[in-house]
Structure 1
Amino acid sequence: MAGHLLKSESVFAFLAVHRGELFPEEMFADLFPSRRGRPSVPAEVMASVITLQALHGLSDNETVDAVTFDLRWKAACGLPITAGSFHSTTLTYWRRRLAASDRPNRIFEAVKAVVAATGALSGRTRRALDSTILDDAVATQDTVTQLIGAIRRVRREVPGAGEVIAAYCRAHDYDDPGKPAIAWDDADAREALVDALVGDAHRLLGHLCEQDLGPRAAEAVALLALIAGQDVEPVADSDGTDGHWRIAQKVVSDRVISTVDPEARHAHKSVHRRQDGFKAHIAVEPDTGIITDCALTKASGPGSGDAAVGIDLLAGESEPVTVLADSGYGSGALRAELLAGGHVDRVKSAPTRSPVPGGFTVDDFAVDHTARTATCPAGITRAITAQGYVTFGVICRDCPLRAQCTTSATGKSLKIRPHDALQRAARRESRNTAWLNEYRRHRPMVERSIAWLTRGNRKVRYRGVAKNDHWLHHRSAALNLRRLITMGLTHTGTTWAVA
């Protein structure tokens, strides 16, 4: 009754007509192998709802309300106006089924297949890579809160831990969910509390070390051990006794910031701007804005680097492409992968730095990678060691160019990286006018796709990398579908096409 009122170029109108072709029933048949009936909600309806939910950034309850009361959602799902909706837990049920399957991102893959069928990317051989930080869905916790939370989690998950805590752990009343009642402006009181909490954690771990633990219990114990060690350090007392524990004067890499979501991380977009959460990586065709692939990682730590993820984002390309990216992707390993894959390298190089303002940089040293030698601006040649080091040493003592080269008392030294030749070639190439013009014309377009991705969705809704990675793929699928519809997507009866 309301379908004719939908805007013709909207996702609602498209799904109202073509959801069956886009999300056929057999596409989800493997999710329900049992012969005892079928899901009460058709697969094409649930896939459409998941897509619209990701597009509009709604919670499960808001999505159910939209399906119940919004005529656009009813038309998109093919539901009568008077039809009620399903319970919000149905969405959770479907997400879990998808996550446990062999193809958890099949909705993204379905839209990607439509892109291929239309030929929208035919002849478009550029891919722009970028990443952005997404805020986590939980509060960042300090050391005290994390220690208390980790001990309470062990009590919940490990049989018998409650008795151990009651008998040996006295730093805090672990039935109280709040912080301990101390004078928080008193440094000695804070230090004594940290020492007592770390002592509780160690005593608890000591009593549990001999137990056979299940997966959840083992995870809780491992998290407590990590929290009890990542932020504190031992300090010897002045009288020579064993001393006590205090907050460490350094920050460990890959630091856990919340026991509620142990995979959330700190990240620094700049010196003064810090965010907590995850990192979304995307590869985009810059002219159309279509996302060709995406991935979500921790915001920092191993495996979250732009260059490492960038290599994976290009793995699905069937032919060589021109890769445009900022200097965050400019690692030697990525350039080597681009060369091996036949791709064109348009990745910006990081600026070279000199230890002396206005002095010589690494590019002023001539390196013969075949002969394994390096020659300084003064014409002195030294061998490169097996570890990649070059030491000029005492020869720098009377060198007239020393003031422009180094401030070290022991003379100049260099580190030649494994892919140094590729990096030098990339820096030379990036100075060419044609290189610069192509980069400046096409690379900034990825910012448009980042803006579409994060508009109203800067904060993730789930905990952990896996769940939020599935959300990112659903979000990217919805954005791609909307972009294709804007380009004139239609179904001819046999295949997909764009006007």
Structure 2
Amino acid sequence: MEIERWRPKQELSEQEERIIERMKSTGKLFAFLRRHRHELFDEAFQAELETMYRQTGAGKEPLPPARMAMATLLQGYLGASDATMVELTVFDLRVQMVLDCLGHSEPAFSKGALCDFRHRLIGANMDRRLLEKSVEVAMGQQEFGWRALKSSLRVAIDSRPLEGAGRVEDTFNLLGHAARKVVACVAGLLKCSTDRVCREAGIPLLLESSVKKALDVDWNEAGQRTRALQVLIQQLDSLVQWLRRELPEQLVEEPLAGHLKTLEQLRGQDLEPDPDGGGVRIRQTVAHDRRVSVEDGEMRHGRKSQSKRFNGFKQHIAAEMELDLIVACTVTPANRPEAEATPELQKDMQRQGMEIGELYIDRGYIKSPVVESVLEQRGEVLCKPWATQNGELLPKSAFKLDMRSRTVTCPGGQRLPFKPGSVVEFDAKVCGQCPLRAECTTAQPEHGRMVRIAEDEALQQRLHKLVKSPTGRARLRERVKVEHRLAHLSRRQGRRARYRGVRKNTFDLRRAATLQNIESWQRHLESPRAQAQKTGVPSNRPVL
């Protein structure tokens, strides 16, 4: 089966010229995509997109993948649902113009076709390729002034919180929600009502609209809260025992096995044995890697700062500093450290033949593998260093560290060797006779001053030296560019995830980053410098 290839016209029709004329102030991206869609979806890239489909010779003929990819981009730009996007291909002239279906009275595709294409795009990792293509096309423009050699790139990495799409619930509601999923699944297998399953399985709490309503206790009283928990656990046990007796074979088959696994996971993470007897109680501390949502099992608790908490994911992007292009991005659960995202970002940049000459990060990424890689290649890492504070005593910065000889000298002149990742303790007798002891340490007389040497002490020393000079501080402030990229993504996507799970939200981030790159391409192409190159007339306007 040969897949039909999209061959959009390059010349504008009279109707398209009138539409574009009306989009001088708003909707300019539609006009830009209409004029440059053939560059983004050239023959080579269309051939790549076609590899998502198997040549079986049977089944419904797929729509042109490039056209579906363009529709997916427009959907992200408009923030439209699948159903709305289908209708827009009928009554929105801007969408019709870009998709080359002006005058059509029928939708360009169905809701199922759009959903199927998105799944194919994700399954084949072509959403990553779409982002890479936007970088390639933009970098190929003379307006960007791109160097032929892709080395010594100035790259900044940063992240932003993303609230998950799944509902976050407390322990009672989590357990009740998970149990309802089990009951609904069983009702489907037995082809009966959920009410019947609840009665036969001995879990009448689920007959009410909510578990807490069914328990009907004063939640401010600890005793009633404890008794309510015991009632809920007894009925959950009754449900599981009934399933083992009535449906032993289905317990190990999907989807019932998955729902039961979720229920057991929630019980294990949120409950613990009661030391006073009486069964179990709600866990007093938050369990490691705690699941917070039944519908989205990958959402996690996270912190953007000591005071700002959120539930969901973290979006990470790597942006080229000079060209305002996002070259790689990924998503992680909210509780994972920033360093865990960098291997994926680095791999995506290496796929594009990019090497980092200058890396701009915040302190959350300082322990990441990409930092080690940049330093090994004799690149430069720019990051605000950790503050060296010691109350009113002499700080670590008062000690002279010689990284070549690996020695540390205290303000009093005592000199000792050190190893990275160790703690140096100065001689107690020498410290006891030092006139600076009272200013240096409050240790007991039998101990001297201690200084902790970090594993990356050499890097930390360079960063401290950098932040002390006006030029260095100015260089550190350049990282604000990646923060601007994140702000634009936040405006485009909002603060809440559109999809559930890490992979689908990675797709959504890559789509938004692709649109961001296209807008950067448009901005550079329409800049005074580019217009001057195009017309041959010098421009006196400054290029920002």
Distance (Å, rounded) in 2 between the aligned partners of 1:463 and 1:115: 31
Listed as ranges, the matches of 1:53-72 within 5 Å are: 53-72=75-94
Cα pair distance change 1:390/1:220, threshold 3 Å: farther
The Cα of 1:224 is off from its aligned counterpart by: 2.5
Q: Which of 204, 211, 230 does residue 179 from structure 1 map onto?
A: 211
Which string of whole-angstrom CA distances, capped at 9 and with x for unpartnered residues, describes residues 27-62 of structure 1? 321122122266453223211111111123222223
Corresponding residue for residue 493 of structure 1: none
The Cα of 1:246 is off from its aligned counterpart by: 2.1
Q: Which moved more, 1:129-138 or 1:109-118?
A: 109-118
Name the structure where helix makes up a greater proportion of residues: 2
Cα pair distance change 1:254/1:317, threshold 3 Å: farther
Which string of whole-angstrom CA distances, capped at 9 and with x for unpartnered residues, describes residues 350-378 of structure 1? 22232xx2323333445566877655545
Q: Which of 380, 385, 397 does residue 363 from structure 1 map onto?
A: 397
Q: Which of 79, 101, 113 does residue 79 from structure 1 map onto?
A: 101
Corresponding residue for residue 270 of structure 2: 231
| TM-score, scaled to structure 2 | 0.77
Q: Which of 459, 466, 470 does residue 422 from structure 1 map onto?
A: 459
Q: Which of 146, 150, 154 does residue 174 from structure 2 map onto?
A: 146
Q: Which of 77, 102, 106 does residue 129 from structure 2 map onto?
A: 106
Cα pair distance change 1:333/1:293, threshold 3 Å: closer
| TM-score, scaled to structure 1 | 0.83
Which string of whole-angstrom CA distances, capped at 9 and with x for unpartnered residues, describes residues 121-171 of structure 1? 6248322221111222122111111112223334455789x999867765x
Listed as ranges, the matches of 1:111-130 within 5 Å are: 111-118=134-141, 120=144, 122-123=146-147, 125-130=153-158
Unpaired segments ≥5 residues, structure 1: 491-497
8 Å Cα contact 2:420-2:454 kept in structure 1: no
Structure with greater Cα Rg: 2
Listed as ranges, the matches of 1:276-315 within 5 Å are: 276-301=311-336, 311=346, 315=350
Distance (Å, rounded) in 1 between the aligned partners of 2:410 and 2:272: 44
Query: Is 1:487 aligned to residue 524 of structure 2?
Result: yes
Query: Is 1:388 aligned to residue 428 of structure 2?
Result: no
The Cα of 1:77 is off from its aligned counterpart by: 0.5
8 Å Cα contact 2:420-2:456 kept in structure 1: no
2:367 partner letter = S
The Cα of 1:472 is off from its aligned counterpart by: 0.7
Corresponding residue for residue 26 of structure 1: 47
Distance (Å, rounded) in 2 between the aligned partners of 1:154 and 1:444: 48
Query: Is 1:135 aligned to residue 147 of structure 2?
Result: no
SS class of match (1:180): helix
Cα pair distance change 1:197/1:57, threshold 3 Å: same
Q: Which of 369, 382, 389 does residue 353 from structure 1 map onto?
A: 389
Q: Which moved more, 1:31-40 or 1:223-232?
A: 31-40
The Cα of 1:471 is off from its aligned counterpart by: 1.0
Distance (Å, rounded) in 1 between the aligned partners of 2:421 and 2:183: 49
Identity of aligned residues (%): 27
Q: Which of 1, 10, 16 does residue 34 from structure 2 map onto?
A: 16
Distance (Å, rounded) in 2 between the aligned partners of 1:271 and 1:129: 21
Corresponding residue for residue 338 of structure 1: 374
Cα pair distance change 1:38/1:403, threshold 3 Å: farther
Cα pair distance change 1:418/1:333, threshold 3 Å: farther
Distance (Å, rounded) in 2 between the aligned partners of 1:63 and 1:401: 73
Corresponding residue for residue 9 of structure 2: none
8 Å Cα contact 1:140-1:258 kept in structure 2: yes
8 Å Cα contact 2:291-2:300 kept in structure 1: yes
The Cα of 1:468 is off from its aligned counterpart by: 0.5
Q: Which of 15, 20, 32 does residue 2 from structure 1 map onto?
A: 15
Corresponding residue for residue 495 of structure 1: none
1:117 partner letter = G
The total of aligned residue pairs comes to 483
With CA pairs under 8 Å and 6+ residues apart, which has the higher RCO, 1 or 2? 1
8 Å Cα contact 2:313-2:331 kept in structure 1: yes
Which string of whole-angstrom CA distances, capped at 9 and with x for unpartnered residues, describes residues 156-214 of structure 1? 55789x999867765x6234452333222333222233344455556767886997724
Query: Is 1:245 aligned to residue 286 of structure 2?
Result: no
8 Å Cα contact 2:325-2:517 kept in structure 1: yes
Distance (Å, rounded) in 2 between the aligned partners of 1:53 and 1:375: 62
Corresponding residue for residue 463 of structure 1: 500
Unpaired segments ≥5 residues, structure 2: 1-13, 528-532, 535-544
Distance (Å, rounded) in 1 between the aligned partners of 2:208 and 2:387: 53
Supply the RMSD in Å over aligned alpha carbons: 3.7
The Cα of 1:421 is off from its aligned counterpart by: 2.4
Cα pair distance change 1:139/1:42, threshold 3 Å: same
Which string of whole-angstrom CA distances, capped at 9 and with x for unpartnered residues, describes residues 8-43 of structure 1? 793322333443442244232112212226645322
Q: Which moved more, 1:207-216 or 1:263-272?
A: 207-216
8 Å Cα contact 2:198-2:207 kept in structure 1: no
Cα pair distance change 1:376/1:485, threshold 3 Å: same
Listed as ranges, the matches of 1:399-438 within 5 Å are: 401=436, 404-405=439-440, 413-438=450-475
